[in-house]
Amino acid sequence: MIESTRENILAELEGIRDAGTRKSEFSITSAQGTSILIDGKAFINFCSNNYLGLSNHPEIVAAAKQSLDEHGYGLSSVRFICGTQDIHLQLERELSQFLQQEATILFPSCFDANGGIFEVLMKEEDAIISDELNHASIIDGIRLSKAKRFRYRNRDISDLEDQLIAAQGCRRILIVTDGVFSMDGYIAPLAEICDLAEKYGAMVMVDDSHAVGFLGKNGSGTPELCGVQGRVDILSGTLGKALGGASGGYISAHQEIVDLLRQRARPYLFSNSVPPTVVSGSLKALELIRAGSMMRQQLQLNAQLFRDLMVAEGFTLLAGEHPIIPVMFASETDATNCAQELHDRGIHAVAFSYPVVPLGKARIRIQISAQHTESDIRKCVTAFSATRH
Ligand SMILES: *Cc1c(COP(=O)(O)O)cnc(C)c1O
């Protein structure tokens, strides 16, 4: 690399550090879970997406090991050449049933699912109407499409209606939203969105990555929670959060849409198959979720306990029912200092500040798991309180 290139890359890195937005990584020396080791030291973990505690569940680990013996390590192929096994088809069928959609197509990740769909489905004569706080993968996916783009304020139904009116006359109209917004834990108003979609002849797509597996009576996600199952045209989601936490994503939608994606979606056509261990682990995760509501109930109880205890201690939380629980701070430095002090007390949690969240809205985002014990949660609250003295 020539010297000037090295210098301007270094300058960019310095800029990131100076802006206070440099991200560093902790080296975890254990399996994922509510108790982890970081460089050999024990922490209670409050910042993973391991909502149901399945990331290192013994039955899932066993299913993955068995799959390794029966289906091998890797496919060395994309799906349509020689990379489709019986278990890939089984997982697609079971996800369709679980989500109550006609068909499902697996992707290497949800980032790829969102990266692949808009270019295929939405052309120049079409319109995409997107919530302003949608996930980065939706934003990037939309960039790859030639459709007209409209954006509405976060969860703002009346702004959405204005955008729908502006998009009238386009061939296809697609409203796209996260089911849950990950910085706030807020849930998209899907009933109102579906009503508007029907009124204006639009399709609805929901990325349910932070909900699939645990929101709604059967855990199938925000459409179930909001009472709109069967009215959402397209669901995307990840296998990398509640559903075992390994990797992989999917689109679950009308049969014709899934058929078209299998022919045209570039991250599907040109990237490797999801590995057998992950497919079998995901099948086991779905089985555990279908088998009972215990994990979901425990998750809800844990989240409620944390909220109640923190409010009683005088902390400011963003209201809600999701296991993403933002603890708000007056300043960016308060949030950062508190996270550091929690860390010193054996609690692993992360502070987010501008530009990840709006200026003046700095927070520590706590993520509750069904695997947390009451003692874990009380220790966390005690540690928060101790940081104030
Ligand atoms: C985590 C997340 C993704 C990315 O999922 P991967 O499978 O890890 O690529 C996409 N969308 C949303 C809303 C997410 O929260």
DSSP 8-state assignment for residue 212: T
pLDDT at 112 over 90: yes
Q: What is the pTM of this model?
A: 0.97
Q: How many domains does the chain have?
A: 2
Within a 13 Å sphere around the CA of 195, how many CA atoms are in the beta-carbon half? 9
- What is the pLDDT averaged over residues 266-280? 98
* Cα–Cα distance measured from residue 372 to residue 370, given in angstroms and rounded to the nearest whole number: 6
Catalytic residues: 182, 210, 241
> Helices 332-344 and 374-386 sit at what angle, rounded to 10 degrees?
130
Characterize 167-183 residue by residue with b for buried, 16 or more Cβ atoms within 10 angstroms of its Cβ, and e for exposed. beebebbbbbbbbbbbb
**What is the residue type of 194?**
C
- Residue whose C-alpha is closest to residue 382's, from 302, 310, 326: 310
Whether residue 100 contacts residue 229, with contact meaning beta carbons closer than 8 Å, is answered with yes
Share of the chain above pLDDT 70, in %: 100
pLDDT at 389 over 80: no
Which residue minimizes the CA distance to atom 2 of ligand 1?
A: 209
Residues 273 and 138 in one domain: yes
Give the residue, out of 47, 139, 209, with the most ligand 1 atoms within 8 A of its beta carbon, to mutate for a pocket test.
209
pLDDT of residue 20: 81
User: Could you tell me the CATH number of the domain that includes residue 351?
Assistant: 3.90.1150.10
Residues 200 and 309 in one domain: no
Name residues contacting ligand 1 (CB within 6 A): 109-111, 135, 137, 178, 182, 207, 209-210, 238, 240, 249
pLDDT of residue 273: 98
Using pLDDT thresholds of 50, 70 and 90, give the confidence band for residue 50. Answer: very high
CA of 182, closest atom in ligand 1: 15
For residue range 333-347, what is the model confidence (pLDDT) as tens digits? 999 999 999 999 999
For residue range 345-370, what is the model confidence (pLDDT) as tens digits? 999 999 998 888 998 999 999 999 99
Q: In terms of residue numbers, what domain contains 319?
A: 38-56+293-386
- How many whole angstroms from 388 Cα to the centroid of ligand 1? 34
- How many whole angstroms from 111 Cα to the centroid of ligand 1? 6
Residues 269 and 330 in one domain: no
Listed as own residue / partner, the contacts of 263-267 with beta carbons closer than 8 Å and 24 or more positions apart are: 264/120, 265/105, 265/107, 265/116, 265/117, 265/119, 265/120, 266/115, 266/116, 266/119, 267/107, 267/108, 267/112, 267/113, 267/115, 267/116
- How many whole angstroms from 240 Cα to the centroid of ligand 1? 8
- Residue whose C-alpha is closest to residue 253's, from 115, 113, 149: 113
Whether residue 14 is contained in a domain is answered as: no
Whether residue 64 is contained in a domain is answered as: no
- How many whole angstroms from 264 Cα to the centroid of ligand 1? 21
Residues 229 and 350 in one domain: no
